Structure 1
Amino acid sequence: MVARGSFSWIAAAVTITAAVAIIAYTTQMSAAKYATASSLSATAFFLWFFRDPKRRTRICNNCLIAPADGRIIDIRNRKICIFMNIHNVHVNRVPISGRVVNIEYKKGGYLPAFCKDSERNERCEITLETPHGEITVTQIAGTLVRRIVSYVQIDDKVIQGQKIGMIKFGSRVDVTVPESLTITCKKGDRVIAGETVIAKMQGVNRGN
């Protein structure tokens, strides 16, 4: 299964591969054959990169789960920052059930997503109204990214683990943590979107 919003990239790669393959077949040129192999490799890469594997989310109303695959690069001021490398799945998910109350897209630069200055990059801030108060999930573009894809709209009711959007290529996702929840992760931890608990109420087990 491939991520929603990736069709144009995959379609372009398939079209180019098919065209180059036809040229290689009709001309028997060595260069065209090498180009076909390269195009096939590019198509395979896009299919792999835009993969969207199934995730099993155990709903927990008193837990915050990771909104993105990747590595935690910073925790400060009740905000957890997750860096997504090129090998991570880039589909983002809802950290806790609630309602979308605001979506704000902000233009900006394209600094490396792991830099603190990347907060000035192109980004999309999605604010959720939850039983623990408002939280904000911020999708931040990286150096190679020119597009952030959102799957939700204002007033949508969303469920923990639901797909919320995607950032193309290397990027970062920040999430604010309500005061009622205790952060359970630490800098350097690897997390999986829709599965890894990153904060919860004290004394609460997963599934409550």
Structure 2
Amino acid sequence: MTIHKEGYTSIALSILFIFVTNTIIKYYLPDVTWFIWFWYLLSFALFIIILQFFRSPSRKLTLHDRKIICPADGKVVVIEETEETEFLKDKRIQVSVFMSPVNVHINRNPISGIVKYFKYHPGKYLFAWDPKSSTENERTTTVVEHKSGVQVLYRQIAGALARRIVWYVKEGDTVEQSQEFGFIKFGSRVDIYLPLGTQINVNLNEVVKGGVTVLATLS
């Protein structure tokens, strides 16, 4: 397992914070041994949490021309028919994956094709499981057109803790299935909008892995 490039700055700042606070406590409270050791343990726990959040585990990625691959690690929290109003402007099957702070937060392309649309939206920081987060939170929208002509829309959505969305794509790019298209720091969510008639291969509350789990099969 390695550390993702998006974590380098956060990890460095965490180390600096831990060093400074430990030094201050040791200097001003030299006789309060129990508190010094408590802070040492707390600092160590914080550092481990930061490290595991930015982990980039090695995994065998799934590739299949007619499959929609899960874009993120987490739990399936929404499977429903809805109206997509930003770009596709038709009825779609929405599948949403919630990423908790303990999940890997790398985002991967669910399908290969050409990026036909991309837009970043500033917004609120509602909890990621709130239905309004899909349209009101800070988010990105990406639409990839498969060689068959099928268009799949997916959104990175910031949550109450996620304050930075990172993306690596732009309109006109050719993207490969299961390859990274972005990263969201801390708790967040990814929504995918699939054509009606698509066979959904996951269930509500199922735990899924980005780049590995087959989310759906194109009809």
What TM bracket, shorter-length normalisation?
A: 0.7 to 0.9
What do the CA deviations read for 1:97-132 (whole angstroms, capped 9, x no partner)?
112222211111111111111121111111112124
Moved more, 156-165 or 146-155: 146-155
Q: Does 1:131 align with 2:132?
A: no
Partner Cα separation in structure 2 for residue 189 and residue 44 of structure 1: 26
Q: How far apart are the structure 2 equivalents of 1:59 and 1:28?
A: 57
CA separation in 1, counterparts of 2:188 and 2:163? 11
Query: Over residues 141-199 of structure 1, what are the superposed CA-to-partner deviations in whole Å (9 max), with x where a residue is unaligned?
Result: 11111111112233222111101111111111001113463222222222111111111
Q: Give the CA RMSD over aligned residues.
A: 2.1
CA distance in 1, matches of 2:143, 2:107: 14
Residue matched to 1:117: 132
The answer to whether the Cα contact below 8 Å between 2:62 and 2:213 also exists between their aligned partners in 1 is no
Equivalent in the alignment of 1:164: 181
Which one of 44, 50, 53 corresponds to residue 46 of structure 1? 50
CA contact (8 A) 1:13 1:39 kept: no
Cα distance in 2, alignment partners of residues 28 and 143 from structure 1 = 35
Conserved? CA contact 2:167–2:183, under 8 Å: yes
Query: 2:206 matched to 1:189?
Result: yes
Give, in angstroms, the shift of residue 76 of structure 1.
1.8
SS of equivalent residue, structure 2 residue 195: coil
CA distance in 2, matches of 1:155, 1:54: 29
For residues 24 and 111 of structure 1, the distance between their equivalents in structure 2, rounded to whole angstroms, comes to: 35
Matched, 1:94 2:109: yes
Which residue of 55, 68, 73 maps to 2:72?
A: 68
C-alpha deviation, 1:58, in angstroms: 2.8
Pairing 1:80–2:81 present: no
Select the residue among 180, 199, 206 that pairs with 2:216: 199
Gaps of 5+ in 2: 82-92
**Cα distance in structure 2, aligned partners of 1:28 and 1:114:** 42
The residue that corresponds to 2:19 in the other structure is 18
Following superposition, the deviation at residue 34 of structure 1 comes to: 4.0
- Show the counterpart of 1:147: 164
Q: 1:16 to 1:36 in 2, by over 3 A?
A: farther
Identical residues among aligned pairs (%): 34
How far the C-alpha of 1:53 sits from its partner, in A, is 0.9
Number of aligned positions between the proteins: 202
**Aligned counterparts of 2:143 and 2:100: Cα–Cα separation in 1:** 24
Distance 1:10 1:117 in 2: 32
